[in-house]
Amino acid sequence: MTNKARAASAALVVDARGMRCPWPALRLARAMREAADVLLLADDPQAWREVAALAGERGWTLADGAEGGWRVRRD
Q: What is the pTM of this model?
A: 0.84
**1-32 pLDDT per residue, tens:** 444 444 556 899 999 999 999 999 999 999 99
What DSSP designation does 20 have?
P
CATH of the domain at 68: 3.30.110.40
Lowest mean pLDDT among 11-25, 34-48, 57-71: 57-71
Give me the phi and psi of 2, to 5 degrees please. -75, 165
Q: Which domain holds residue 18?
A: 3-74
Strands of the chain (E only): list them: 12-15, 37-41, 60-64, 69-74
How many domains does the chain fold into? 1
Identify the burial level of 28 via C-beta atoms within 10 angstroms of its C-beta, where 0-12 means exposed, 13-18 middle and 19 or more buried.
Answer: buried
